[in-house]
Amino acid sequence: MVSRAGKALWLGIVWLTCAIANFGNAAVLPHAPLVPTEAELARLSRVRSLLNSATATHRQPVHIVFYGQSITLGTWWRTVADELRRLYPHVDFRIENRAISGFQDWALARTVVADLIPLQPDLVIFHAYGTDNGTDLFLRQLRQHTVADVLVQSDHLHLDISMDEEVDPAKLVPRDVIPYRNYVRLPADCDRHGACVARVRDAWKAYCRTNGVSPSALLADGIHPNADGNLLMAEFVLAYLHPGPLTEDPDRSPRVKTATLGQDAYWRSGVLECDFTGSSIMAKWTGPLNGEVEVWVDGKRAGERPELLGFSRVSPGHFSGWPALSQVSFVSPLQEETWTFTPFNVTAGGLNFSFRVSGSITGPDGEGTNTARFVSRSGRVVIESGDHWIPLAVHFSGQKPLPEGFSAVWSTERHYHDPLLPGQQPPADLRTRVRLVQGLSDGPHRLRLVQRGAQTPSLLALQAYSPSGQAMMQDAISTPPISERLSWSVDGDATVLRWSAELQDWTLEFTREPSLPRQWSAISPAAFQRVENQFQFRFSLPFGVSAQWFRLRAPEANHPESAGALWNSTPNSP
């Protein structure tokens, strides 16, 4: 019998052979595949379950973001994206690369607030060189504000002497800079935040040893992979995303809970209320929405909650595409507007300058310098002294000064949809998923959706995202509405209506008018049959001149569930 490890190795070799053929480059020589451990794959359990649960009849939206520096901007990421689309034809992918060339991990821990958190991705694939705590800060931000699984790549080799480096964490000390980073610090950061380390460095060494290839032969310029190196990088990252068995329900995990409408949550007289725990809510529907829906959270319209607004990435400086500011924050509630940052009195070399900020609605909001923390008069703009990138842009551009009249801009953006409008559709690539609200405290809240119009909105499900792993989403009322407890089926040439015997005092009514307002008529209880714990009403069409609508009406006029169109239709209904 083949062992689990042996089977995994065999499957990996088969996959590798197919992958090399698919990548179409015979220069990558045969080698043993990178086979992740079960413990490593467990840290990618939700995104892997999303991928592997997708079928032709149950497509899954999956959002993947590559993030890092110039290494992440290499061609390998597109190979990964193309191969994922081939491996998972029933997944609706959104795959994007938001890497910033030259930004180390400590800088990306600042830009992540505008770049990744508003996206609420399912997977972040990350690599960046940096400082002792940069990756820790980056992962901490993701863990506090998103439910994303994270795959952190260890460094590929760029020095031939690294083939013989020490790899035992117990023997490494901080002055062993590169191996210490890869075998001590990165694993510790990922352990602390539940991220998965992609063992690129080990696989790179194994490839070189197997084929007698030096690490430098896989590089274009001493650090960036060449064509062969990019193929290897893609292969080693894809190893963690191979098709495999489901390990959890991706829609009902500790970080994400789903309420299916009509099963876990219900419309009652044009209102749907859910209690949830989390910081974000996603809504699912297909096709254009069939009506308008108001979105309320904790008693306020979503648009009245300032925490559901945030800033976009700041526009670039004059060199390398770097944002002029790595982060802008605030201490007062925001409003939707565009902000302008204008430097002046820039010294030679760009090391020191003054600046002014102005909002399109707020207006002129104060002046500051790049050497001190700045808080605008309104409190809607806060800039830390370490977030200015103009000095480095001037330095690395060869002392090229800022263009005359230079300014940078960013916007205050909605992190919610309110109201949902008739005809609104989910994004074309994600097919079904729309961010309803994002930016709440990760705790208990109540969501209230209010229908505007006669038709019940064509929403399919609601999802609570809880970065802390306490996700909960359930109907605010424990029992389904009466319209859900009244059901029908076809038995031969007859239609049978059924409802709980607990509702014996309720009146069954019908109407033959499909338009509003409807005129309802009662059906005599003598026509009912009781079968165990339910009542049944059996009839053949035409009944009441082809009655098409039925409802149960409470005996008390002010009963909370007796108002509105609490109805179920027969097979002939529209």
CA distance 183 to 126: 17
Same domain, 93 and 205: yes
Same domain, 232 and 294: no
| Number of structural domains in the chain | 4
Same domain, 121 and 187: yes
What is residue 515's predicted lDDT score, i.e. its pLDDT?
A: 52
Same domain, 526 and 444: no
Asked whether residue 246 is domain-assigned, the answer is no
The crossing angle, in degrees rounded to 10, of helices 134-145 and 186-193 is: 20
Query: Which residues, including other chains, have CB under 8 Å from residue 18's CB and lie 6 or more apart?
Result: none
What is residue 461's predicted lDDT score, i.e. its pLDDT?
A: 96
Same domain, 63 and 169: yes
Same domain, 217 and 325: no
Q: What is the pTM of this model?
A: 0.84
The crossing angle, in degrees rounded to 10, of helices 76-87 and 4-23 is: 110
Same domain, 53 and 154: yes
Asked whether residue 151 is domain-assigned, the answer is yes
The parent domain of residue 458 ranges over 256-305+416-475
Domain boundary among 434, 449, 475: 475
What is residue 12's predicted lDDT score, i.e. its pLDDT?
A: 40
Residues 41-87: tens digit of each pLDDT: 999 999 999 999 999 999 999 999 999 999 999 999 999 999 999 99
Q: Is 263 helix (H, G, I), strand (E, B) or coil?
A: coil
| C-alpha R_g of the chain | 29
Chain Cα centroid distance, residue 278: 13
CA distance 84 to 91: 9
CATH number of the domain that residue 122 is part of: 3.40.50.1110
The set of long-range contacts for 266-269, using a CB threshold of 8 Å and a minimum separation of 24, is: 266/475, 266/477, 266/480, 266/481, 266/483, 266/484, 267/451, 267/456, 267/457, 267/481, 268/477, 268/481, 268/560, 268/561, 268/564, 269/560, 269/561, 269/563, 269/564, 269/566
Same domain, 382 and 422: no
Single-letter code of the amino acid located at 72: T
What is residue 501's predicted lDDT score, i.e. its pLDDT?
A: 87
Question: If you write DSSP's letter for every residue of 478-547 in order, what string do you get?
Answer: SSPPHHHH-EEEEETTEEEEEEEGGGTTSEEEEES--SSSP--EE--GGG-EEETTEEEEEE-SSSTTT-
Query: Which residues, including other chains, have CB under 8 Å from residue 237's CB and lie 6 or more apart?
Result: 76, 80, 125, 151, 153, 198, 200
Contact (Cβ atoms closer than 8 angstroms) between residue 157 and residue 127: no
Contact (Cβ atoms closer than 8 angstroms) between residue 457 and residue 270: no
Going by C-alpha positions, the residue among 374, 403, 405, 404 that lies closest to residue 388 is 374
Specify the pairing of strand 149-153 against strand 196-198. Answer: parallel
Contact (Cβ atoms closer than 8 angstroms) between residue 341 and residue 387: no
Q: Cis peptide leading into 121, omega within 30 of 0?
A: no
Residues 263-288: tens digit of each pLDDT: 899 998 889 999 999 999 999 999 99
| DSSP secondary structure letter of residue 400 | P
Query: Which residues, including other chains, have CB under 8 Å from residue 28's CB and lie 6 or more apart?
Result: 20, 228, 231, 232, 235
Domain boundary among 369, 385, 405: 405
What is residue 512's predicted lDDT score, i.e. its pLDDT?
A: 67
- Dihedral pair phi/psi, residue 305, rounded to 5°: -105, 105
Going by C-alpha positions, the residue among 268, 302, 298 that lies closest to residue 283 is 302
Token pair for 206: 């194994």
Distance (Å) of CA 156 to CA 79, 208, 219, 377, 473: 17, 11, 10, 47, 42
Asked whether residue 217 is domain-assigned, the answer is yes
CATH number of the domain that residue 287 is part of: 2.60.120
Same domain, 88 and 197: yes
Same domain, 486 and 469: no
- Dihedral pair phi/psi, residue 53, rounded to 5°: -90, -5
| DSSP secondary structure letter of residue 144 | H
What is residue 444's predicted lDDT score, i.e. its pLDDT?
A: 97
What is residue 56's predicted lDDT score, i.e. its pLDDT?
A: 95
CA distance 502 to 535: 9
Same domain, 507 and 455: no
Which residue ranges of the chain lie beneath pLDDT 70? 1-26, 482-483, 512-518, 541-548, 557-574
Single-letter code of the amino acid located at 36: P
Same domain, 464 and 332: no
Asked whether residue 342 is domain-assigned, the answer is yes
